[in-house]
Amino acid sequence: MWGVKSGQGIYRYTNDDQNPWVKIPGGLSDIGAAADGTVWGVNSGVRSTATPETSRADPTR
């Protein structure tokens, strides 16, 4: 699971009770993830994908 906060902070859910949300470098105003784990984000009207190591279908890695 992925999310963005005010200020365009990007976060990935880890399913770890000690640290459930990890901040990902960068900034987006909207984010979405496909069934294959591809992550798309929008910032200032430009689309970009997350790097391969952060766009895995398994968010615990």
Q: In whole angstroms, how far apart are CA 10 and each of 41, 46, 53?
A: 10, 16, 15
**Res 61 pLDDT > 70:** no
Against a cut of 0.85, is the pTM above it? Answer: no
Alpha-carbon gap, residue 16 to 49, rounded angstroms:
25
23-53, pLDDT tens digit by residue?
988 888 888 888 888 888 887 666 565 555 4
DSSP assignment, residue 36? T
**Whole-number pLDDT of residue 6:** 80
